[in-house]
Structure 1
Amino acid sequence: MNAKTVPPDTLGYKMHSSTDGPEKILSSASAREDKRVDFLRILFEGAIAGGAAGVVVETALYPIDTIKTRLQAVHGGGKIILKGLYSGLAGNLAGVLPASAIFIGVYEPTKQKLLKTFPENLSALAHLAAGAIGGAASSIVRVPTEVVKQRMQTGQFSSAPDAVRLIVAKEGFKGLYAGYGSFLLRDLPFDAIQFCIYEQLRIGYKLAAQRDLNDPENAIIGAFAGVITGAITTPLDVIKTRLMVQGSAHQYKGVFNCVKTIIREEGTPALLKGMGPRVLWIGIGGSIFFGVLERTKQMLAQRRPMAQSTNSIKLD
């Protein structure tokens, strides 16, 4: 058969095949671009919502956190001071804002990716993993912020700049990361457990109610998740506080030495110091944080279609 007698259907097939390739390539490229834009949007909106929630919680509940820190830091039957409960707030907010933004900015896209990867019955594992990953990412900012805050709460320094300067002068740059291991030991399980409980309760509540949750319901679930997680992780918080506030004295040589020393000198109940203020702080904080978080995410989502329609008008 020569080229002149090629059947029409064969020619049509060849013509279709020759144009099918570029369409598929363009479609695939468009899909990848959409995924990239969607990932960046989730990250950006999560960062904004996380930063807003973190700042609101820290400002509202800082005095309770100060009392908790002083209870945990005092040795034996020492008394705590109730003055200067907002000491170090401004410097702490400068760290809380980026830390909270990083945490939620990493948590949200990681959660979405893992939920698509894991089977539906393993959604709890996806939430646990995403919480731990978000906590690890934000720890780079959270640890120095926590060190400075707790040193100021216990009266060692009067301002955040002085605290940073003197800590670096006396202990080196690593002094800003004092207790880093104990921080991760406390916060990675804390973040993983709290967000897992919160997300799973929301899923169950939505299925039962067959509707989206309102602000008070999000706040109540957030408070419950905070109370449970705060109580469970109190001993880890005591260890972290002792290691962070010890400064250049180096009374404790590490996490395990800290535990042994506390139990030997003060008894096992000392590992539960500050549980009341901690549970109160995290419970109320959880209700505010998750309430503000969900409300901010909803506000950002509501603005999204408006931005898209505006862009389409401009293009037209």
Structure 2
Amino acid sequence: RLDSQVSAGGLPAKLINGGIAGLIGVSCVFPIDLAKTRLQNQQNGSRLYTSMSDCLIKTIRSEGYFGMYRGSAVNLTLVTPEKAIKLAWFFILYLCLWSQVIVTTPMEMLKIQLQDAGRIGKRFKEMEENQYEIDRGQTAQRKLMPETVVPGTAPTKSPTAMQLTRELLKEKGIAGLYKGLGATLLRDVPFSIIYFPLFANLNDLGKRGAEGPAPFYVSFLAGCLAGSTAAVAVNPVDVIKTRIQSMNRGSTEETYSGVTDCISKIMKNEGPSAFLKGAYCRALVIAPLFGIAQVVYFFGVGEYILSFLPGN
């Protein structure tokens, strides 16, 4: 159980543990998260990728190796408080839930724009090249953010997270950064309800005796299994959140005004299976994230760091 790992460091140590776990986990699995975002944003008639591996291969070919890490800077910057709060939620449940969403929503809002930029740019480029071949005398002009591509010209450089933030604040105010807040809550509350009890019970199965803690590898496996199970269970809401938070669309792609509108249009145009898009990618992202988190907790990294402070 998590409460068996609480030491003298208390909540500060848990916040440090969560932050370190988030940094390590995100660094390891970010390309898979990028593939998840691009697969979830694909609509009928605008499919570029057939699978996670196909998405990653095409991303490397068209955008280079570092194309797989679009949006990683903003995620690595904000994942420390986000994961720290999520993994310390037992102590101040209600406050932590809202605090986490306050950090998570703008973080994912910015990350999704940066991750999906390559898909939008590639899709638009293919459409423009097809049109260019059909009628060489006409060149479609279309304003896209963050990337505009016209045949025969180089693509403009994608904006940074800071540029996107300034543009959102200028055009829509603080609400622009919190688009999809409701969908984020609808995803994260059920995730926590599924993850934490499932992890605690799985971890208890590997305990050494009645009182002894489970070995670190048991905590790792329990975190992976509980995390992937919870991730797949809430994937339909994650698809909705991703679609709502994506600002850029091709001319044939739907836009959404809210959660119910998104559900209705996906059901009508793509069918129920669309809600499972990116599910296995999300499971592959979340499993090591929470497995690593539990190992960091097991070894008490935060407690060890705090032990060097005066008075400890």
Compute the TM-score of the two structures, normalised by the length of structure 1: 0.71
The residue type paired with residue 241 of structure 1 is: T
Percent of aligned pairs sharing the same letter:
30
Deviations along 1:169-189, whole A, 9 cap, x unmatched? 233221100100000000111
Contact 1:215 1:291 in 2 (8 A): yes
Question: What displacement does 1:213 show?
Answer: 1.7
**In the alignment, which of 87, 95, 115 is matched to residue 70 of structure 2?**
87
Label 1:68 to 1:199 Cα distance change in 2 as closer, same or farther (>3 A): same
Greater mean deviation of Cα atoms: 43-52 or 246-255: 246-255
User: Which range moves more in the overlay, 132-141 or 150-159?
Assistant: 132-141
The residue number in structure 2 matching 1:70 is 38
Deviations 1:86-141 (A, max 9, x none): 01111211111122223334x2434xxxxxxxxxxxxxxxxxxx4x7633321111
Say if 2:266 is the partner of 1:262. yes
- 1:147 corresponds to which residue? 109
Q: Give the corresponding residue for 1:57.
A: 25
Q: Are the counterparts in 2 of residues 194 and 229 from structure 1 also a CA contact under 8 Å?
A: yes
1:6-42 C-alpha deviation (Å, 9 max, x unpaired): xxxxxxxxxxxxxxxxxxxxxxxxxxxxxxxx99941
Aligned mates of 2:78, 2:44 — CA distance in 1 = 31
- Give SS of 2:48's match: coil
Distance 2:281 2:249 in 1: 28
Shift of 1:72: 0.4
1:158 alignment partner in structure 2: 159
Aligned residue for 1:206, secondary structure, equals coil
Deviation at 1:302, TM superposition (A): 9.5
1:136 to 98, 110, 130: 98
> How far is 1:50 from its partner?
0.8
**How many residue pairs get matched?**
250
Q: Structure 1 stretches of 5 or more lacking a match?
A: 1-37, 111-129
Q: Which amino acid aligns with 1:92?
A: N
Structure index of larger Rg: 1
Q: Deviations over 1:40-83 (max 9, x none)?
A: 94121111111111111111111000000000012115114524
1:87 touches 1:158 (CA, 8 Å); kept in 2?
no
Cα deviation digits, residues 180-229 of structure 1 (max 9, x gap): 00000001111221122112222343276753222211110101101211
Question: TM-score normalised to the size of structure 2?
Answer: 0.72
For the Cα contact (< 8 Å) 2:78–2:107, is it kept in 1? yes
Q: CA deviation at 1:272?
A: 0.7
Q: Distance in 2 between matches of 1:302 and 1:140?
A: 27
User: Which residue matches 2:132?
Assistant: none
Range 263-272 or range 285-294, more displaced: 285-294
Kept in 2, the 8 Å contact 1:39–1:109? The answer is no
Gap change, CA 1:171 and 1:248, over 3 Å in 2: farther
Which residue of the partner structure matches residue 91 of structure 2?
109
